[in-house]
Structures are given as structure tokens and as C-alpha cells.
Amino acid sequence: MLSRITFFLVAFLTTLSSLYSDLSVKHTEHPFPVVIDTDCDLDDMLAIVYLVKNPRAEVKGITTVGDGISHWEYGAQNVLNVLELIGHPRIPVSFGARDSLSPVGSYPPSWRQQADMMSGIKLPQSSVRPIAEKGADFIIDIATKHEEKLTLLCIGPLTNIALAIEKKPEIKDKIERIFIMGGALLSPGNIEGKPMGFKNRVAEYNIFLDAKAAQDVFDSGIPITLLPLDVVEHASAKPFYDMLAENRKTPAANLVYEILKPSVKNKKRMREFLWDPVTAVLFTNPNIAQYRDLKIVVNLRKGPEYGRLIMGSKGTLVQVVTQIDTDAFYDIFLKTLNRPPNLHANHSQAL
């Protein structure tokens, strides 16, 4: 009897594992094409560096958005400077939307200044300029022209993605999946102050700052993998910072170490710093996480719960990350950062 129960349990877990695998990005022998959409915070730079250096990713371009933490005029240049430092200066970087489709406020000014100034980290000044094609148009162009389906890794408000889908709905068939770092399901949100005139303790900035865009993207029918605050809270910056202190062999690893320094000293925000890198690592290694399909809708009603992600019987079926193997995450992230420079160059070149 016990052996029969064990058999069915193994069969169930195997089926479940297969289901999760099917719902995740299917990686092939060659790198998987991805466009990174970012609001250019410091932890966004960690995710960008990781994907540029990882052999499983082919970064086709980077689009920036101005309604997140970094101001529009600073974000793209900071990304270009980071690409210069790690030896990939020709990856196309595009200015995206400057303003939210549903403006309700912004990050605290001190947070925005820190992102704009890269916490005072000295970077080489790239002579490359952002491409002329704007964010939504760039996404449309890449998705349309590329033979393989494209993945979008979104680590800021979803304005560019919503605009691209609205302008050319046909691109939905050219997008394999959208990875989104955003939202809070059961854990508290991260909204500071009273941006709408009252406290909001349930929303997360990437969804809150353009809730309409988020709902539009959820409604698009494109498969979505969502990494909410609930999960990323377990990936603290401190253990990884300590690992880097003992083992950093490349400019990329040194840059990540310098970026993490302020967050380790400022314990209030320490755990926030690995949100976006976790999302990037799950794109290349979906097997280090567990997932659950949930129906989700964005609360668009103005009030203290505006921008909240609501689970229930209504809404879009989304693949939600429920647990990550943090040790595996740290290991993959560290090994990728320490890969020798220019070991592979599977990335698009700006014209």
C-alpha cells in the first residue's frame, strides 16, 4: 500500500514539475532573445549586467521608462555607461515613455536622485547615444522582424509594453512570455508617503505607478510570469554582498559589489536590492523556482488600495512565482558575474 502511495505521489510531482516547465520559458541550445524594459534603478542595473553576461540570454535591446524611479533623461545614459563598463557598448538602448498612462505620483525625490546619480558610483561615459526609435516602436520592430518569439523582461512600470500592444496588437503573437517583477499579493506593499493623499500599504511601485498599463498587459493574453514582493523578500542582499567581497573577478562583479554597498549599510532597504536580479535569473533558470497559476486583476479604483493585485475567481490567469531556491540563485548570479569578459557576445548591435 505504501509503495502504491509513493508511486502516485511521484507521478503527481512529475506531472506538476512538467506543468511548471511547460509554463516557463523553453530554453534551447542557443540563447533566447529578450528585450529588457527598465526604469533604471540600481537593482535594475544588476539584472541588466547578469543578462548581458549570461550565455542563455541574447539581449536584443533595452528600453527605458521615465515614470519609474530614474528620471527619463538620466536612465538611458546610465544604462549605456554600465554597458560600456562591462564591454558591451553597442547593445541598443531606447528612450521609452516619459509619462504614465495613469499618473498618480512618484517615488520619493531622494530615491530618484540616488538612482539618477547611480549612488555616486564612477562609470565610464559612453559615447554611444540612445537609438532614435522610441521604446514602444523598438519593441514592435524587434518582435516583428525577429524569427523567434521574443521574451520581455519588465522591471519597471509597464507603460512601454502597454503602448506597444495598443499600437500594434499583432505583436502579441510574436511574444513568448512577459516576465514581470511587480505587485504584492499577501505581503505589505512598498509605497512610501502618501502619493495620492493617503497611505497605501498594499501596492508595489512597478504596478502602482502605471496601474492601467499593468492591467492592459495582463489583459493582452500574452503568457505572464509574475514575481511579487512576497517571494523576493527572501533573497536578501547581505549574503550575496558577502560572497562578492570574497570572490569578484570581473568588472561586472566589481560593479555589482559597489552598487550593493549602500544597500548593505542602509538596512531598511537592504532586502529590496535583489528584486530585479532574481527576475533575471528566473528567466534563464526557471527550474530554481516553484509556481502557481492564479487569476489576478489590478485594482484601478482610486483609494488606499489603488494598484493592488487582487487574487480571486476573476481576472487574468498568471503564472506566479511562489518560492525560489535562494542558494541556487546566489550561485548562478555569482558565477555569471565572474564569467570572463567577452566570453560570448550574443547581443544585438546598435546601428
The band of 268, judged by pLDDT with boundaries at 50, 70 and 90, is low
CATH number of 31-337: 3.90.245.10
Residue 182 has what pLDDT? 97
Q: All 3 cell numbers of residue 72? A: 527619463
Q: Is the pLDDT assigned to residue 287 strictly greater than 80?
A: yes
**DSSP reduced 3-state for 60:** strand
Half-sphere exposure of 144 (CA within 13 A, CB side): 12
Structure confidence at residue 30 (pLDDT): 80
Domain limits, the chain: 31-337
Q: What is the pLDDT of residue 15?
A: 38
Residue type at 333 in one-letter notation: F
Q: Report the distance separating Cα 38 and Cα 47, nearest Å.
A: 10
The model's confidence at residue 1, banded by pLDDT at 50, 70 and 90, is very low
**pLDDT for the residue 347:** 65
Residue 102 has phi, psi (to 5 degrees) of -140, 70
CB distance 134 to 95 below 8 Å? yes
Grid cell for residue 15: 506531472
Which residue matches cell numbers 534603478? 41
Residue that wins the pLDDT comparison between 137 and 270: 137
φ, ψ dihedrals at 174, nearest 5°: -105, 0
When pLDDT is cut at 50, 70 and 90, the band that residue 271 belongs to is very low
Sheet containing strand 316-324, strands side by side: 93-95, 57-64, 32-38, 150-155, 175-181, 224-227, 316-324, 289-298, 309-311
- Percentage above 90 pLDDT, the chain: 81
Closest CA to 307 of 196, 161, 143, 221: 196
Residue among 205, 207, 209 nearest 217 (CA): 207
* pLDDT (0 to 100) of residue 185: 96
Q: Mind listing the pLDDT tens digit for each residue in 44-98?
A: 999 999 999 999 999 999 999 999 999 988 999 999 999 999 999 999 999 999 9
